[in-house]
């Protein structure tokens, strides 16, 4: 499958939205967690609160969709983006090598996310050495 050079991944603990793009075209993809994360709260269970650990299968599915991308920006509202980056570094080194940034972004629509990513890559590209 042919990929665009740039991609932005918006990720939280329930879903990931992937936008691949170039100057003329963009395509979107989505990965949704197959089962809900388990939450317990001390008020209801009598135990200390806890949250289920990261779903590695979910992260692996997102990573598979990023194979072949030249530059990847990871964004999201909370710490799932960091868990995803750690999973990439541990199990998907070929994808992790193409991550150029990680940023905190709330819940943008696809258009806002695409504009954010384009602006980010314009700035990032100016800081990278030019290759002939």
pLDDT by position in tens, the chain (length 132): 567 899 999 999 999 999 999 888 999 999 999 875 544 444 444 444 445 457 899 999 999 999 999 999 999 998 999 999 999 999 999 999 999 999 999 999 999 999 999 999 988 777 666 555
- List alpha helices for the chain, DSSP H: 42-45, 56-65, 80-91, 93-96, 110-127
User: In this structure, which topology does domain 6-127 adopt according to CATH?
Assistant: Nucleotidyltransferase; domain 5 (3.30.420)
What is the domain partition of the chain in residue ranges?
A: 6-127
pLDDT for the residue 42: 45
In degrees and rounded to multiples of 5, residue 101 shows phi and psi of: -170, 160
């Amino acid at each position: 499958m042919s990929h665009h050079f740039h991609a932005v991944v918006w990720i939280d603990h329930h879903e990931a939205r992937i936008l691949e793009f170039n100057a003329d075209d963009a395509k979107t993809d989505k990965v949704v967690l197959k089962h809900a994360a388990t939450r317990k709260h001390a008020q209801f269970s009598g135990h200390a609160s806890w949250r289920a650990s990261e779903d590695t299968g979910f992260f692996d599915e997102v990573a598979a969709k990023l194979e072949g991308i030249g530059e990847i920006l990871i964004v999201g509202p909370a710490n799932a983006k960091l868990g995803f980056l750690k999973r990439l570094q541990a199990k998907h080194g070929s994808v992790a090598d193409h991550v150029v940034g990680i940023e905190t972004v709330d819940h943008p629509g696809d258009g806002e996310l695409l504009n954010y990513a384009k602006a980010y890559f314009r700035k990032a590209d100016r800081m990278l050495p030019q290759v002939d």
